[in-house]
Chains A and B, each alone.
Chain A
Amino acid sequence: MQLEVLTKLNAARRSRRAAVVVTDLASDDTRVVLEGEAASGPLDEEIAKAFRSGKAGTVEVEGRSLFLNVHLPPPRIVVIGAVHISQALARLAPVAGYDLTIIDPRTAFATEERFEGVELIADWPEDVLKDHPLDAYTALAAVTHDPKIDDFPLSEALRVGCFYVGALGSRKTHAKRVERLKEMGRTDNEIGRIAAPIGLDIGAASPAEIALATLAQIVQAFRRRDLVTAG
């Protein structure tokens, strides 16, 4: 492998872009293909498959043995709202291997004391997401109940294709939210992706149980995302 190849790969990984390293096992020729970049010929299909499955493996293309190593960004969760549910979710997420960030402009909620050791940003989502953009390997959970805070990140999550978008609120609340998101330019298909009410239906009642149901739903969305994109 050439240093330029490794440098390009590491730069992609640092900026949370998916990449596939293609190694010709006979000639030691190596290159990096970033997600969204076109590769040439029949290799294209194999690379697309690798991006979807996230699994490394050897493929035979035109008589050559090629090893495809997939580097997907680690999944993370962005929570809008430093509420009681978020306190539980912030503890559960690392156990399941997910990084987690909480955004809430209300400084009464977003306190160090309530969220010790958690990445917590006490600012408006509009401002925070400029520096920390959402991406396809991010799950977004909006749990403030406040349209002024929730709506923008929800719309943004649908626009960039976050693998999971969930919103807290009753069916009635959600119906009003759907109308607002349409006015913000989101399509019916996009809006249909929102998990609302949030969380798998396990009869969750307490904030901790709702956090658990939400995390389970996020894991389900992540592990099955290849089936969704492939379909």
Chain B
Amino acid sequence: MTVSEILDPLLTAESWKQAGRNVAIATVIETWGSAPRPTGSHLVIDGEGNFEGSVSGGCVEGAVITEALDVIESGAPKMLEFGVADETAWRVGLSCGGRIRVYVERLG
């Protein structure tokens, strides 16, 4: 694999799955305002919490990974929404001021 293939989350997801690992795929579905990663960006997660790719600039990946482990367990997809970092409203948030919606599904 070339360097760009190693960094490609969808190729990573395929090879993980073929190696027998459980995999979830997170996708940015919608963005409002200033969001670090465009709609369509992917983060892929395995059952151990290993990940490749990004859905933000590192702000919400931790929360997405936690949710992804649930999705891998249950098989039911989830829609997550993240906004501006604000302790009263959000556990984690985007420091850039935007909002994003992230869809997390299990790779079957």
Do these two chains interact? yes
Q: B29 and A2: CB pair below 8 A? A: no
Main SS of the interface on chain B?
A: mixed
Q: Within 8 Å of chain A (Cβ to Cβ): is B60?
A: no
Interface 1/0 per residue, A1-25 and B, CB below 8 Å: 1110011011001000000000101
Q: B105 and A58: CB pair below 8 A? A: no
Q: B79 and A1: CB pair below 8 A? A: no
Interface 1/0 per residue, B1-26 and A, CB below 8 Å: 00000000011011001100000010
Q: Smallest distance from the beta carbon of B10 to chain A beta carbons, Å?
A: 6
Q: B27 and A67: CB pair below 8 A? A: yes
Q: Within 8 Å of chain B (Cβ to Cβ): is A70?
A: yes
Q: Within 8 Å of chain A (Cβ to Cβ): is B108?
A: yes
Measured between beta carbons, the chain B residues less than 8 angstroms from A9 are: 10
Measured between beta carbons, the chain A residues less than 8 angstroms from B10 are: 6, 9-10, 13
Measured between beta carbons, the chain B residues less than 8 angstroms from A2 are: 107-108
Q: A56 and B40: CB pair below 8 A? A: yes
User: Would you mind naming 7 contact pairs between A and B with Cβ atoms under 8 Å apart?
Assistant: A2-B108, A3-B17, A23-B27, A23-B105, A25-B103, A56-B40, A67-B103
**Which residues of A pack against B, CB within 8 Å?**
1-3, 6-7, 9-10, 13, 23, 25, 28, 30, 55-58, 67, 69-70
